[in-house]
Structures are given as structure tokens and as C-alpha cells.
Amino acid sequence: MRHRVLGGTGIEVSPYCLGTMMFGSVGNADHDDCARIIHAALDEGIDFVDTADMYSAGESEIIVGKALKGRRDDVVLATKVHFPMGDGPHSGGNSRRWIVRAVEDSLRRLGTDWIDLYQVHRPDHRTDVEETLSVLTDLVQQGRIRAFGCSTFPAEQIVEAHHVAERRGLHRFRTEQPPYSLLARGVERHVLPVTERLGMGVLTWSPLASGFLTGRHRKGRDTDLSTGRPALHPGRFDPSAPTTVAKLEAVEQLVAVAEEMGCTLPELAVAFPLAHPAVTSVIIGPRTMEQLRATLNGRSVVLDDAVLDRIDAIVPPGTDVYPPDGVWAPPALTSPALRRRPAGSRSAV
């Protein structure tokens, strides 16, 4: 695989990144089978592995650590911090207090002395971004991590973090990890132009749109809700939901594009993000060896302008067929108390 430089760090990575969210109790609980998948990916030229402390409550990191024994030096290893790892109020977030503890926990589970890319999994409205950048800068200087980035941050917060880092003489976010697929192109509007302007690397996640671009979910077919993502989130696959209907309509048109190209829908889906000049690497997250093979079979797929024009006609640039699953929402939209004055202090105009 032809490598790409990750956000000006000088670290070269493969255009495919092996995502491990489905390794562990949430997906594939067979540690030996997960290790075989990781080894197969490495043997195929993927040398970039992405995990997170919260994937199966740390189990994914343990699996990755065991699988990389003896091969750690050949791999660019990324993990993340933010989501709660316990029930207490001090077991998550982006504070110095939590990150100092979380990075040590991740290093122990991964069985390594350093993390190549440490990512802040989501914004934290309770913590000043300067606090987060400060502790991450310290971790780089201590050798615990080599570089750090953010994941699923809105464009305005990426810009704010860059400005704070520059003003305070801190290290800055080198990468962003947004959702990006044939069905979710919203990041083309603001996030990808900002990352290009700031010279950041981009690792995109969910290229198969939570399973809707695997080819298994088609219009007029019943969806098996007993396994995989449908079992975890059956509501997202409700055939009567307007968003599901819209996804399936777009999928039928995209299947036709793939068939005319002589490739499968998953192969088309994984090739699509790599066609954008801002994207460094696409995260693929197989649960089984079969899924890994099916994805890697499309490595030779190249999308020319005619194909990209057809895709633009089906899903216009900068638009989402559905709100991507798992994205960050501003707290003021989810908590009424943050957008309403107390009743006694409201004044009439």
C-alpha cells in the first residue's frame, strides 16, 4: 500500500486503518480470532491500528495489545480517551485529572510504552480546551504519546483549539477523525476544508454507514436484527423510519453504480473517502475475517470523475442522507437548562 504522511507529523501510515471497535464483547468476543484478523491485516500491508479505551470497556485495547506482541515497532498505534470508564463522576472527560490516569490505563492494556496517536474522542463542554491541550503537550514531552488528535469535533472547535495552541505555545491537534461515507457527506461542508487549511491528517470512520453500505440491507428485504449492528441498534434499521427509507433508496442507486464499475458496494464505499484530498486514511472495522477480506478486495478500485459525478447526483456534496450515528451534539441542544433562563429571571420585552 502506498503510505501517506499523517498530518505533518512525519509518521507514514497506510491508506487503510484497522479499526477495532468490534473486537471484544460488543462484537467478536473470541480473542484468538480477533488476533488472527489483526495479523491478517498487517500481512496485507495495513500498519495503522485504531482503538479506544471505551471499546468493550477496555477489552479491545487488551486484544490489540496481545496481538501486537513482537510486532509493535512495525505498527502505528492509535487510541482514544473521553468516554466514561466507570460510574463515578471522575472516570471520563477531557480534564487533566482524567487524561493522566486514562493514558496510563491504556498503555497498560495495550502492553506498550508509547502511543503513536492519542485522540480526544469527543469535545467536553466542561473542560477548557487549553487544559486538554496542556496535558496532551506534557504527555508528548514525557514520551508517553508521539502526537495527538481529536475525533468528531465540529469545525469551529477545531479552529478554536488550533488558535489556543498557537497563542499558548502548546502542541496542537494533528488529526481529526470524523464520520464520512457515501451516505454521510456533511463533513465536506466545513470539517474537511478546515483540516486541509490547518494541515491536519484525517482518519474517517464508518465508511459502510453502520452497515447500510455492506449490501446486506436492501429495499424490500427483511433485516436480520439478531446479529451485528442491527442487534446493537435495532431502531436504526426500522424499515418504517423515514431515514431508513432514504438510506435504502440511495443504496439501490449506489448498488447500480458499483455493478457498472464491476465492484461490490462495500468496495465502492471504502474507496469513496480516499478520493477526497483531505483524507489520509479510512478506518475499516471488521468483526470477522470474511468482512476484512471483502473490504481489502477493493484496494484496486479507483473512482474517476464520471463515477464521482454520479455519486454527487445521488447524494449531493456536503449533505447527509441521515444524521451519522454517534456524532457529537452541542449540549445546549440536548439539555434545555442550557438554553433557558430560570423562570424567575425571564424578562418580558
- Clarify whether 55 is annotated catalytic: yes
Contact call for residues 230 and 44 (beta carbons, < 8 A): no
CA–CA separation, 349 vs 343, rounded Å? 15
Four-residue CA torsion sign, 309, 323, 48, 119: positive
Q: Pick the catalytic residue: 55, 118, 180, 322?
A: 55
Nine cell digits for residue 203: 482518519
End-to-end CA distance of the chain: 64
CA–CA separation, 333 vs 345, rounded Å? 21
Q: Active-site residues: which are they? A: 55
